[in-house]
């Protein structure tokens, strides 16, 4: 049985220094927005993570998820992504156990290698350790989630006589997601029996992961594919879009600098068409048509849009988000219920 479609938002908490918005007020407004979105029936709230960024890019999503979980009832929380090499995995597993209990079992976790040199420099960690720390971290997290006592001895981590308490609310622990921008990342997600966060061409991420699941006797319909695909709903694009477009340009300037600093002037597989994460902008009908096609083409089960672009306040996007949650999302779910997630 194919997974149900889930729709939500994603936050990075970026607040440019010249925005004139106090950080405490900004956090408080976003918390109120999350409560409001939960009331509108949104399924997901995700968080991204980077460190030591002047605009306050969210470095720690778990406390925020805890604050939101305490004041919401239905929405589920996750990360896209947690930079796993920067986490002590046993401590992360304990934090997630506490959060799983606080939220009543509404926690998931998405992890990846990371890439920005300043993220690693601030932690005194060589970027060359990313791969080994990620693989060992995933192994330790997986064992923690099983709820059985274990010990582990690896190149980067050692753990003796570990069993996570309190018990997770969700059997088997929080659902685990792994990001992939290449074939190796997709195979890693399959190896650790994880859901997929693709950021690259379909053929070298989603298809590789699907094939790996199927070849090992697992049913791909038991797994989920999630992605940030931003959507801005407006009946007047000329009036409403310019402010969001300017904020998006600011957002992408950071990524361009981070990729350049990492020696990644261009992502891998440039000869292939990448899964588009460009904004969909327009009225309800346009957004539904575009997102329905995207969901079907890429077998998406979990789709989130940016909630508050950098430099804007939650109130600036209230109308667009309300239409997204109450008019676009229900139609996307209805269409997904009546169709298989196959590429056209």
Please indicate, yes or no, if residue 128 is contained in any of the structural domains: no
Q: Is 80 exceeded by the pLDDT of residue 341?
A: no
* 120-177 residue pLDDT tens: 999 999 999 999 999 999 999 999 999 999 999 999 999 999 999 999 999 999 999 9
Average pLDDT, the chain: 95
Residue 167, in any domain of the structure: no
**Domain range spanning residue 312?**
1-79+226-344
Per the domain annotation, does 40 fall within a domain?
Answer: yes
On whether the CB atoms of residues 280 and 136 are closer than 8 A, the answer is no
- Indicate whether 267 pLDDT > 70: no
Residue 244 covered by a domain: yes
pLDDT of residue 272: 72
Would strands 195-198 and 176-180 be described as parallel, antiparallel, or unpaired?
parallel
- The average pLDDT across 110-122 equals 97
Is 211 inside any structural domain? no
Nearest alpha carbon to residue 320 among 215, 245, 255: 245
Can you give the CATH number for the domain in which 26 is found? 3.20.20.30
Per-residue model confidence (pLDDT) at position 344: 47
pLDDT of residue 340: 61
Is residue 120 situated within a structural domain?
no
pLDDT at 257 (0 to 100): 92
Q: How many domains does the chain have?
A: 1
The reply to whether 111 falls in a domain is: no
149 falls within a domain:
no
């Amino acid at each position: 049985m194919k997974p149900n479609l889930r729709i939500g938002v994603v936050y990075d908490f970026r607040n440019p220094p010249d925005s004139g918005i106090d950080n405490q007020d900004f956090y408080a407004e976003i918390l109120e927005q999350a409560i409001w979105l939960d009331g509108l029936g949104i399924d997901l709230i995700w968080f991204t993570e980077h460190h030591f960024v002047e605009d306050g890019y969210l470095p720690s999503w778990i406390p925020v998820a805890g604050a939101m979980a305490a004041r919401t009832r239905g929405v589920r929380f996750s990360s896209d992504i947690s930079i796993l090499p920067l986490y002590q995995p046993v401590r992360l597993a304990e934090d997630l156990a506490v959060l799983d209990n606080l939220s009543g079992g509404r926690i998931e976790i998405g992890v990846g290698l990371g890439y920005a040199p300043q993220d690693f420099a601030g932690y005194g960690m060589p970027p060359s350790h990313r791969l080994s720390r990620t693989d060992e971290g995933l192994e330790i997290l997986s064992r923690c989630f099983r709820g059985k006592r274990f010990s582990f001895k690896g190149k980067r981590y050692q753990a003796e006589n570990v069993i996570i308490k309190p018990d997770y609310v969700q059997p088997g622990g929080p659902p685990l997601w792994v990001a992939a921008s290449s074939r190796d990342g997709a195979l890693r997600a399959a190896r650790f029996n994880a859901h997929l966060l693709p950021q690259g061409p379909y053929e070298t991420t989603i298809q590789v992961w699907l094939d790996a699941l199927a070849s090992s006797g697992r049913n791909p319909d038991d797994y989920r594919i999630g992605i940030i695909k931003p959507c801005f709903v407006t009946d007047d694009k000329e009036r409403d879009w310019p402010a969001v477009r300017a904020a998006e340009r600011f957002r992408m300037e950071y990524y361009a600098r981070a990729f350049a600093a990492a020696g990644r002037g261009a992502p891998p597989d440039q000869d292939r068409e990448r899964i588009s994460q460009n904004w969909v902008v327009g009225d309800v009908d346009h957004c539904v048509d575009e997102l329905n096609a995207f969901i079907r083409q890429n077998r998406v089960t979990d789709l989130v849009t940016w909630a508050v672009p950098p430099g804007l306040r939650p109130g600036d996007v209230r109308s667009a988000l309300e239409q997204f949650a109450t008019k676009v999302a229900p139609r996307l779910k209805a269409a997904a219920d009546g169709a298989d997630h196959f590429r056209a």
